[in-house]
Homo-oligomer: A and B are copies of this chain.
Amino acid sequence: MFSGLSAFPLTPTNESGIDEAAFVRLVERLADAGVDSIGALGSTGSYAYLTRAERARIAQLAVKHAGNVPVLVGIGALRTRDVLALAEDAQHAGASAVLLAPMSYQRLSSDEVFELYETVTRSLSVPLCVYDNPGTTHFEFNDELYRRIARLPNVRSIKIPGVPSDTDAARAHVERLRALIPSHVTLGVSGDAFAATGLNSGCEAWYSVIGGLFPRTALAITRAAQAGDRQEASRLSARLQPLWAQFSQHGGSLRVIATAAELRGLVERPVLPLPLKVLQGASRQRLAVLLDELELA
């Protein structure tokens, strides 16, 4: 399950609570499109903003409505105690795997992060994907830590934060990481703008934000790369450049994809929990035009 397109849906959430019906619709949309896995409660799924009970409920709904598609559930939290509890809940809900980012408030050391993964993987009966996302966790993995963590039991994939945009540099980067880790551990690219380059450079998976809302658009890129048609994967990704630019302009993908979900009528407004806000005014208008032009699906 750690190859191909892993699609990360939003968890529609606001001050009134979680919109479970809207979440179920998003999950069913992904299952219908035939994504390779569904990543519930990723950063796009606002895991960090929800209570343990809310997260358990979302994990249950994702598994129940994903059909035969395996579900990966985010279990990140600031405390090891809470991560262990969330791992139990995810497994109890029937998750096929868990996803763990080293969330931080106090800056973490490499040894602290290693011990976190060691403790959690020891307790698991499902595989784990290491979630490296310094933009939100403020923790920077290094080669030695990749090497040590990838050898822990149950570790099966690493979600890396993008690759260099130059093709040769990207290939060298992926090959270097690949040499650090056992062959049963896959590398999955994230940062949607880097996905085609990452897949073309040897990443086995794409952990995808747009895949969570526009699965057919993301699948087209993924299937082209998997078939060895690098040029087509790159062309399909380059077409979406104006969307990648929006991600950069708005401090990441979440607010843009959340606004897109509202604009397409797939969720009620507002879809994000305060203090987070979706795009307003002219930015929102520009995105609406862009969504039509790009024919995302």
Contact = CB atoms under 8 A, between A and B. Distances in A.
B106 A276 contact: yes
Nearest to A254: B106
Interface stretch (A76-84, A147-155, A192-200): A76-84
Contact of A115 (B105, B116, B274): B274
Most buried by B among A102, A106, A107, A135: A106
B251 A109 contact: yes
Contacts of A49: 78-79, 105
Nearest to A137: B105
Contact of A81 (B15, B103, B109): B15
A215 B230 CA distance: 64
A56 to B, nearest CB: 15
Nearest to A253: B106
A50 B276 CA distance: 22
Interface string A89-124: 000000000000011011111011101100100000
Contacts of A109: 251, 277
B107 A274 contact: no
Contacts of A136: 105-107
Nearest to A119: B274
A127 interface: no
A252 B79 contact: no
A79 B54 CA distance: 14
Given A273-B80, A273-B81, A252 B106 contact: yes
Contact of A275 (B115, B254, B255, B276): B115
A269 interface: no
A43 interface: yes
A275 B43 contact: no
A48 interface: yes
A36 to B, nearest CB: 26
Contacts of A79: 49, 273-275
Contacts of A223: none
A257 to B, nearest CB: 12
Interface string A143-165: 00000000000000000000000
By Cβ-Cβ distance, the 7 closest A-B pairs, closest first, are: A80-B274, A48-B105, A116-B275, A112-B275, A107-B251, A49-B79, A80-B275
12 contacts: A48-B105, A79-B273, A81-B273, A81-B274, A102-B275, A107-B251, A108-B275, A111-B277, A112-B276, A112-B277, A116-B275, A119-B274
